Amino acid sequence: MSTIITLVVLAVIALYVVSIYNKLVNLKNRHQNAFAQIEVQLKRRYDLIPNLVETAKGYLKHERETLEAVISARNQAMAGLQAASADPTSASGIAQLAGGESALTSALGRLNVVMEAYPDLKANQNMMQVSEELTTTENRVAFARQAFNDAVTAYNSYKQQFPPVVFAGMFGHGQDANLLEFEDSAAIQAAPKVQF
């Protein structure tokens, strides 16, 4: 009788361990799929930037440096995306992508400031269309990034809980996944300096 009880207890424990393994795999796949959604939107964004620069070129002949900075930042961000796409669980790949995206956002911000000085450019139909598509894509990237970060948080939270934490390392889920943050959080939290 005690042998049967022991076997039943062992079977229940084995089934529980299998369910932990399956949930870890499921959550990891979710955050990798969420990264794939970010990748789609970022590629769309990178494809729009040359159109934006090309449209602006004719008006911004004296702003060549700004246009080159945008293209350079785009290329840096694309390299970061390729590194992160190779292994979405890699901390260095995610960090490289975040750095590239921060540089690109900054360069696009400088371009927007320069474009303010050219009313004819802002009124150009092609420029308005490309700008609108880029803004829409930026929103999609933000939503995809939020979904990715939610999936990463769910994965990390589950595998850090007891009892999954006991088995996560054995099942190849020892390292936490990294959140994707495009902004420099220290710079955002710093109070702006105002001088008169």
184-188: which pairs have CB atoms within 8 A and are 24 or more residues apart? Answer: 184/102
CATH (domain of 62): 1.20.1440.20
Amino acid 165: pLDDT: 92
- When mean pLDDT is compared over 59-63, 105-109, 126-130, 187-191, the highest value belongs to 105-109
- Is residue 178 in some structural domain? no
The residue that leads in pLDDT, 26 or 124, is 26
The residue that leads in pLDDT, 143 or 192, is 143
Region 150-178: mean pLDDT is 92
Confidence of residue 191 (pLDDT cuts 50, 70, 90): very low
Confidence of residue 183 (pLDDT cuts 50, 70, 90): low
- Which are the contacts of 178, defined by CB distance < 8 A and separation ≥ 6? 89, 91, 94, 95, 152
187 to each of 101, 118, 145, 184, 193, how far by Cα in Å?
15, 29, 20, 5, 12
The residue segments making up the domain with residue 130 are: 33-173
- Is residue 188 in some structural domain? no
- Is residue 4 in some structural domain? no
Q: How far apart are CA 70 and CA 173, in angstroms?
A: 38
Is the pLDDT reported for residue 158 higher than 90? Answer: yes
CB-neighbour burial class of residue 8 (10 A; exposed 0-12, middle 13-18, buried 19+): exposed
Amino acid 188: pLDDT: 40
Is the pLDDT reported for residue 2 higher than 80? Answer: yes
What the block records as the tokens of 11 is 């079977």
Q: How far apart are CA 117 and CA 111, in angstroms?
A: 10
Is the pLDDT reported for residue 194 higher than 90? Answer: no
- Is residue 117 in some structural domain? yes
User: In this structure, what are the phi and psi dihedrals at residue 174, rounded to the nearest 5 degrees?
Assistant: -75, -40
- Is residue 23 in some structural domain? no
Confidence of residue 184 (pLDDT cuts 50, 70, 90): low
- Is residue 115 in some structural domain? yes
Is the pLDDT reported for residue 192 higher than 70? Answer: no
What the block records as the tokens of 24 is 């870890």
What the block records as the tokens of 49 is 């930037």
Q: What is the pLDDT of residues 31-89, one digit of tens each?
A: 999 999 999 999 999 999 998 888 888 778 778 888 899 999 999 999 999 999 998 88
- Is residue 24 in some structural domain? no
Amino acid 116: pLDDT: 83
Domain count, the chain: 1
- Is residue 58 in some structural domain? yes
Mean of the per-residue pLDDT values of the chain: 87
